[in-house]
Structure 1
């Protein structure tokens, strides 16, 4: 087997239809980000935060169609890791896989801790143990098969959307609401782009559909439809929430709040809705965590098949047909992180890694021949440029930290390959 080949064995079962795949993607996008991403975005973009949202959504659309076009031709686990290897070469695929695994593993810890913060307000160690319990419980759900993952995601997404509907209705029609219309805070183009990069964190969930390409039925039809359905629904939800928050609080108060939705319902005289917001944030965090575990497990499986990760991680459970070793290893790593660190401020770090991941996806899609194309090449060019621009405008510490870790991962691969070639 050459370094560039992607082994199809052991195979996962194709059990997901369009609805299940779209719900998994939506569960990743309408997660804790919709409750937490507004404050840092408003601090960067001020009154133009909705413009930042539109920019993030446009870049996400370009990335989504690139992923859909690639997944229709390469319906295997791994997403851009697999596409990068096939279209650009092993090193590009490895870079994409590492960027995804690094960024999203940190996001797993962040989502678990966010869930615990809302579910168990109070003592730090009670929160950490609750976060660990959430990681173990959702790993167990994933371990039982992808249909169990999809079923639980449907429940969590449904509850989250119900909570958001209640909150938006309260903010827009509450008799006590005194809607803010003066949004004239100072901002600049750099701040708008930085906020777009942070908001992109919310739209990266459709990657989960592509990374699970080996588990969908009729992938050439299912994956493109599921990706676009999930993305457009998520964009609509974020626009509704963003407009509601701006009317209730204005950009300055959004930027100053650690929990903007809770602050907003209190501001319009509906403090009774704060517990509903807390429950919604907790459920959304669980939904995002569940989808993250599934996506990272499949990417790790693909990397292990080509020996970019230890071969042990390529095991597929003979009964449940899931990458059980990869998911168990992820649970251990995330469990250690939630017990030892606080990664709730990881939005910039995760966004940087995922923007690099999609930059490689756009480059890979650009190389596809005419008979494989569903969208014109200029969409891939716009997507690649958008990813790079948003990545370099993210907070410097987050970007540098992710870049250094990615560089160390690339160095580790180089040393392993050299050692293997001289053995």
Structure 2
């Protein structure tokens, strides 16, 4: 149910983002659109919070990749500290790749996305076989009865997995014909991804004993090895690791694009928008990866389950502020008002599921943008002053 509700809510928000992009094709991204609709300060706060959500998500994704890579090199996952150090190394390897430019990072992203479909396709084939046999040959349960009270926290975690559908609108200036292609990327991509995730993730849960899934470090590999043997499980772990690395690459690209778009829109100081010869915002890209590394290393003594739980909720809370800002902007500008109102209600619901701790920390981190905004505002006044 959380997957169904989450994908439906994301479709509402993606439609709002698509309409905003079509209405303001000259904008550098959805953050700039929020600045135009809500005011410069609100645009800065929303965009800054989204940026925080990106580098905290990179910490989660890097740890996930390490969990699958540990199936081949156990020492990198032997302890919480080893996992943290390995994840940090992975973050910086992808940072170096992105310093080569958006075109190189994009080519790498296409390749890893294609590879990602291999383990997902294998799981779909196994589930189809189980369904063909009428459910014979797999163990299930026991499962708790459905409870509406559990839907809100489940929705937040499911929605976290969907986050990213807005990336095309965030980096709209990098997209050819954004009014057309952003709509296609978000709506069709989200619909296909949502259906695939619903089938795969729910299928794994129902096809294996719940205790086994709950304790699995690499659930995709566990599922395939259960039905096709250990070698197939290892192959799946390898594909899943590549998929996670591809996701990390994509978000590493976006973590530089968000502040860059804000700086070019005049919402942040100019130094943040400084780029290399390959049009890469080097300084802010390095800052972002440093913060992601510090988040991983500072929590190295915590259990992996507790660390992932907290970072997932923080990432969801920080990211959802962008959706709140986009829906409010659409309401103010009277663009897709019905979808915007429904999307705003959904975003508030998903935000609440993240918990007070994560929401409070996301707000605190968001407010760290105010000094940067004031610096940019004073610089703008100085530039406008008469000689």
**Given the two structures, how large is their TM-score scaled by the length of structure 1?**
0.77
TM alignment of 1:232-251, pairs within 5 A: 232-249=191-208
Q: Does 1:65 pair with 2:35?
A: no
Cα distance change, pair 177–258 in 1 and its aligned pair in 2 (3 A): farther
1: CA distance, partners of 2:283 / 2:293: 15
For residue 55 of structure 1, what is the aligned residue in structure 2?
5
For residue 394 of structure 1, what is the aligned residue in structure 2?
354
Summarize deviations over 1:50-99 as a string: whole Å, max 9, x none: x1100000111011111111122334676332111011112221221122
For residue 117 of structure 2, what is the aligned residue in structure 1?
161
Equivalent position SS for 1:186: coil
Runs (5+) with no aligned partner, structure 1? 1-50
2: CA distance, partners of 1:313 / 1:138: 20
Instruction: Name the count of aligned residue pairs.
Output: 366
> Is the Cα–Cα contact under 8 Å of residues 29 and 173 in structure 2 kept in the other structure?
no
2: CA distance, partners of 1:141 / 1:417: 30
TM alignment of 1:11-410, pairs within 5 A: 51-75=1-25, 79-120=29-70, 121-123=74-76, 124=79, 126-173=82-129, 178-179=137-138, 184-249=143-208, 253-268=212-227, 270-305=229-264, 308-318=267-277, 320-342=278-300, 344-345=308-309, 346-369=311-334, 373=335, 376-406=336-366, 408-409=367-368
Deviates more, 1:250-259 or 1:89-98: 250-259
Equivalent position SS for 2:4: helix
Cα distance change, pair 171–182 in 1 and its aligned pair in 2 (3 A): same
Cα distance change, pair 306–379 in 1 and its aligned pair in 2 (3 A): closer
Equivalent position SS for 2:176: coil
Summarize deviations over 1:220-241 as a string: whole Å, max 9, x none: 1111111112211211210220
Summarize deviations over 1:348-391 as a string: whole Å, max 9, x none: 1111111221111111122335xxx5xx4211111000000111
Runs (5+) with no aligned partner, structure 2? 301-306, 383-387
For residue 303 of structure 2, what is the aligned residue in structure 1?
none
1: CA distance, partners of 2:279 / 2:214: 45
> Is the Cα–Cα contact under 8 Å of residues 95 and 289 in structure 2 kept in the other structure?
yes
User: 1:171: how far off?
Assistant: 4.3
> Is the Cα–Cα contact under 8 Å of residues 248 and 268 in structure 1 kept in the other structure?
no
